[in-house]
Amino acid sequence: MIQILYISSATQPMSTQDLLGLLGECREKNAGVGVTGMLLYGNGTFLQVLEGDETVVDDLYDRIRRDPRHTDLQILHRRVIERRQYSDWSMGFKRLSDRELKGVEGLRDFHESDFTPAYLLQHSDVVDSLMEHFRRERVKSIGQGELGVNEDDPMINILHRIIRGAVRVLAVLMVVTILWGVVDVVYVLYTKVLGPSFMDWQARDIIVTFGAFLAVLIAIEIFMNITLYLRDDVIHVRLVIATALMAIARKVIIFDFEKIEPMYILATAAVVLALGIVYWLMDNRTIGFGGGARHGGGRTS
CA atoms within 13 A on the CB side of 231: 15
Euclidean distance between CA atoms 291 and 39, whole angstroms: 8
pLDDT category of residue 216 using cuts at 50, 70 and 90: confident
pLDDT category of residue 21 using cuts at 50, 70 and 90: low
Q: Which residues of 54-76 are buried (b: 16+ CB within 10 A; e: fewer)?
A: eebbeebbeebeebebbeebeeb
* Residue 164 confidence (pLDDT) above 90: no
DSSP character for 70?
E
pLDDT category of residue 287 using cuts at 50, 70 and 90: very low
Q: What is the pTM of this model?
A: 0.54
Query: CA separation (Å) from 74 to 38, 112, 168, 215, 234?
Result: 16, 20, 42, 53, 30
Q: Is the dihedral of CA 246, 247, 253, 256 positive or negative?
A: negative
Euclidean distance between CA atoms 118 and 173, whole angstroms: 56
All domains of the chain, ordered by start, with CATH?
A: 2-142 (3.30.70.100), 154-285 (no CATH)
